[in-house]
Structure 1
Amino acid sequence: MANHVITATATMLEKMRNHYATDITGHLPAGALFVAKRSGCTITAYRSGKVLFQGKAAEEEVAKWIKESDQRKAPVSQPHLTAASAIGSDEVGTGDYFGPVVVVAAYVDKEQIETIGAMGVKDSKQLTDEAIGRLAPTLMDNVAHQTVILANPKYNDWQRSGMPQTKIKALLHNKAIGKLVKQLSPIKPEAIIIDQFIERDLYFRYLASETNVIRDRVYCYPKAEEMHIAVAAASIIARYVFLQEMERLSKEVGMTLPKGAGAQVDQAAAILIQKHGPAILEMCAKLHFANTKKAIRLAEQ
């Protein structure tokens, strides 16, 4: 049984308690704030701030929180990387119920860093979708990049096979980076920086059975978009491609698909089920999200 522990702030613990509110049990071990049981994972939060994830789905569940834990604090300054000619890799869509997972690897030469920065490139989460729509096309014209899109049907197949989302992301990052390394040849980047979603050792463990694994000069850093502009560029392009895919899917199903995984998503999925039946979700949604069961209940009312 997989076990993972993260350290959470008081604010994050409260957010987790609210997130797992419907899954909280009555049994509390010594020192615990709450225990929540989900399919494939038990989450135990302690007053010390430690949160234990246990079960076959532990890696997938902990991935939802690792970006907010103190494991995601800003990295120590790495001047030799910040000013390097580097590939940056980032993903979008893993927390959205509707839409694919998009991973982009982007290369920024050291001679381009100042120019790309002057364009207003920064972490896509700090930009509106409208700003990304204006910036991304120009960025894509000026930065070598490769995109990998994992459509919902394939995502659902992998997830049903027992593959955790963290392994899915590792496979996609390695594929995008590999395609870009091949495109750039004979140029060799001085660094390959992945926005960390899991520890580097586990990242490569997930890739153990792959035949083409990029290992040289690969770094996994939290908040990597603050370390190198190539990661920020990758995040913007990935978001732009994701938004285009969401628009395409919306046209296919005949209604606007909302982003995220909140109540508005449940309502939209319920409408789709009422119009087309639950099978429609296979091609546009990540079925293992709790939204699926909620939408089915809403559709039956």
Structure 2
Amino acid sequence: MPELAGDWEQVAGVDEVGRGALFGPVVAAAVILPKSAFEELAAAGVRDSKQLSSYRRSKLAEQIQAIALDWKIGYANNKEIDQINILQASLLAMKRAVTKLKVQPQMCLVDGKWLLPELSIPQQSLVKGDERSLVIAAASIVAKVWRDDLIMRFATKYPAYHLATNKGYGTAQHLLALQQYGPSSLHRMSFSPCRVGNQ
């Protein structure tokens, strides 16, 4: 994967997951990798998290976190998503991940077409960045594993919605549960499938 950030030594890859889910937060990761690790991680199979099994993602996330110069998670919860909309919440989650980093990146590579608002660090947006940049792919894996683990913990508290299998996304089973039981306090009420009681 070509890295598109020039000769910077410390580049943060930034990506979010859970944007299309009906339940829970949108979660972002910011990851800074040493340049010496790129070849090893590419050989290990780091790529867009959506192309990996959950087992491979978990193993790669451990490897990425062990090698990274720094990595941090940021998120925006369902109430914030409802207040400011999912796009703005996604950008906020990514900005929170970046601003938590202890190692200051010289450049941020941000997945998607939008730049992060009011960020003092130079940044470059990259459409399909998780396919084109190894450091963004690493961030997508870390964010996905962290969010999936969180949703698995919620699954025991909210068993009606089958979260263990759908991770909060709008599967047929999840939509049926919303119709039967209504939304929980962690559902995104600005998403129309969650407003079943008002239809």
TM score, norm. by length of structure 2: 0.84
Asked if the contact 1:82–1:227 (Cα under 8 Å) also holds between the matched residues in 2, the reply is no
1:23-55 CA distance string (max 9 Å, x none): xxxxxxxxxxxxxxxxxxxxxxxxxxxxxxxxx
In 1, the alpha carbon distance for the partners of 2:14 and 2:171 equals 27
Contact 1:194/1:224 (CA < 8 Å) preserved in 2? yes
User: In structure 2, what is the Cα distance between the partners aligned to 1:248 and 1:79?
Assistant: 35
Give the match's secondary structure for 1:149.
strand
What secondary structure is seen at the aligned counterpart in 1 of 2:87?
A: helix
Which position in structure 1 is the counterpart of 2:93? 172
Shift of 1:126: 0.8
Q: Is the 8 A contact 2:14 2:94 kept in 1?
A: yes
| TM-score normalized by the length of structure 1 | 0.58
Cα deviation, residue 122, structure 1: 0.4
1:5 equivalent in structure 2: none
Q: Using the alignment, how far apart are the partners of 1:262 and 1:167 within structure 2? A: 24
- Report the equivalent of 1:50: none
Which residue of 2 is the match for residue 223 of structure 1? 128
Shift of 1:149: 2.5
How many residues end up aligned between the 2 structures? Answer: 193
2:189 aligns with 287
Q: Which segments of 5 or more consecutive residues in structure 2 lack a partner in the other structure? A: none
What SS class does the counterpart of residue 194 from structure 1 fall into? strand
Classify 1:248/1:127 alpha carbon distance in 2 versus 1 (closer, same or farther; 3 Å): same
- The residue correspondences of 1:1-301 to structure 2 (distance < 5 A) are 81=5, 84-85=8-9, 86-143=11-68, 144-156=70-82, 158=83, 163-180=84-101, 183-185=102-104, 188-189=105-106, 191-198=107-114, 200=115, 203-204=116-117, 207=118, 213-216=119-122, 218-255=123-160, 256-257=162-163, 258-259=166-167, 260-273=169-182, 278=183, 281-283=184-186, 285-293=187-195, 295-296=196-197
For residues 35-82 of structure 1, what are the alpha-carbon distances to aligned partners after superposition, in whole Å with 9 as ceiling and x for unaligned? xxxxxxxxxxxxxxxxxxxxxxxxxxxxxxxxxxxxxxxxxx976527
Alpha-carbon separation, structure 1, partners of 2:46 and 2:63: 11
Counterparts of 2:189 and 2:59, CA distance in 1: 32
Which letter does structure 2 place at the counterpart of 1:214? S
Displacement of 1:292 after TM fit?
Answer: 1.5
**Larger RCO: 1 or 2 (CA < 8 Å, sep 6+):** 2
Looking at structure 2, the residues matched to 149 and 219 of structure 1 have their Cα atoms a distance apart, in angstroms, of: 20
**CA RMSD between the two structures:** 2.5
Select the structure of larger CA radius of gyration: 1
Counterpart residue number, 1:3: none
Unaligned 5+ runs, structure 1: 1-76, 208-212
User: The residue matched to 2:185 in structure 1 has which SS?
Assistant: helix
Change (3 A) 1:93 1:196: same
Deviation per residue, 1:242-272 (Å, 9 max, x gap): 1111111111123432242242221122344
Return the letter of the residue paired with 2:55: E
User: Residues 78, 128 of structure 1: CA spacing in aligned structure 2 closer, same or farther, 3 A cutoff?
Assistant: closer
In 2, the alpha carbon distance for the partners of 1:228 and 1:78 equals: 6
Contact 2:25 2:77 in 1 (8 A): yes
Query: Residues 128, 80 of structure 1: CA spacing in aligned structure 2 closer, same or farther, 3 A cutoff?
Result: closer
Give 1:192's aligned amino acid.
Answer: C
Q: What's the % identity of the aligned pairs?
A: 24
